[in-house]
Amino acid sequence: MEKTARNRLVEAREQFKAGEIDKNEYVEYLNTQHRGLFDYPAFISGTDVAEVRMTHEGVTVTSAAYGISMSVDAVDLHATPYTLLDFGSYETDETRFLESVFHDGDVFLDIGANLGWYSLVLGRSCPNSRIYAFEPIPATVEVLKKNIRLNQLDNIEPVGMGLFNEEAELNFLFAPDVSGATSLKLTGQSRGTSAIQDVVCKTTTLDAFCASRDIVPSLLKIDVEGAELMVLQGGETILQHTPIILIELLRKWSREFGYHPNDVFALLGRHGYRAWVFAADGKLEACAEVTEQTVQTNYLFMHPQRHAEVLSRWCSPAR
């Protein structure tokens, strides 16, 4: 159980009520705390943060570009809302691309949704779409649901399961302050300071889930901290329909699962896919394989013929 964070404002108020500090001491102390509020307008100016909102229910951050709001968790310090605040944007190229290729009425599977950034963005822009946001850890699913309610979106279904190459109950490693690093192996969970928890969660396969819902997704996002190959191994039938796939591949994480990112290239290549990465100008450039010199970690897989129109819009002209 996580300890409740110390609240200095409430403590000061209780000290004042108890007569431990006088009115002037109380006001002087509170005013030093309140001054920090006025640092934020200049800090978020010119960024994708439109608003930081506080109510008695908590704190939320709203994206200027996409009009979605996300709850800021006091414990989960590496989550998307903090990245948005700290750096002024979140995966800008990837988000622009997915929004450009997803159309109203399409089906999107957000595999490793975490708190739901991509689901929320696409759910807002395409209200008649169907979006399934997969996240295995119950505590994270509750925050995901909170964000869906916050944005009043009824086209996103949170799915409290992981996707893998088998239907099973597996042991996930979860750190409350790095929820986005949840994995079947020890990967990025140690970035935080919380104790790592063992959480048994259900998994299903991509093919089994799509068959159960009678859906064929046009778009997949897969970010599962090293188990990306296993997710794809469970989706051989769906891959025959060649949905566009955004997938995170890190050599250090895939190594923990006994494979190399190029094994993903090979599996998808059998279905006619090729890979692209984002260049510095935001355009796409072809990527034949992952080498020790490769710096990108997010890869787009598309079929050169079936996605020719998308590629014509997003690829840099040949030199």
Q: For residue 50, what are the contacts with CB-CB under 8 A and spacing of at least 6?
A: 44, 62, 63, 64, 67
For tokens 């908590």, what's the residue?
58
Residue 318 banded pLDDT, cuts 50, 70, 90: low
Residue 314 has phi, psi (to 5 degrees) of: -105, -15
> In the predicted model, is pLDDT for residue 1 greater than 70?
no
Cα dist from 181 to 11, 174, 187, whole Å: 33, 7, 7
Provide the pLDDT for residue 281: 92
Is the pLDDT confidence value at 303 over 70?
yes
Q: Judge whether residue 2 has pLDDT over 60.
A: no
pLDDT 10s digits, 137-160: 999 999 999 999 999 999 999 999
Q: Which of 277, 285, 309, 253 is nearest to 94 (CA)?
A: 277
The pLDDT value recorded for residue 5 is 62
| Lowest mean pLDDT across 35-39, 168-172, 191-195 | 191-195
- pLDDT-derived band at 4 (thresholds 50, 70, 90) equals low
Rounded to the nearest 5°, which phi and psi values hold at 78? -105, 15
The pairing of beta strand 197-204 with beta strand 244-248: unpaired
Specify the DSSP element, H or E, that contains 253: helix 251-256
Distances (CA, A) of 24 to 12, 28, 31, 121, 290: 12, 6, 11, 47, 63
Predicted pLDDT at 20: 95
- Give the pLDDT confidence score for residue 319 in this predicted structure: 42
Residue-averaged pLDDT of the chain = 94
Does the pLDDT at position 48 exceed 90? yes
**Which has more confidence, 316 or 285?**
285
Location of structure tokens 């709203």: 62
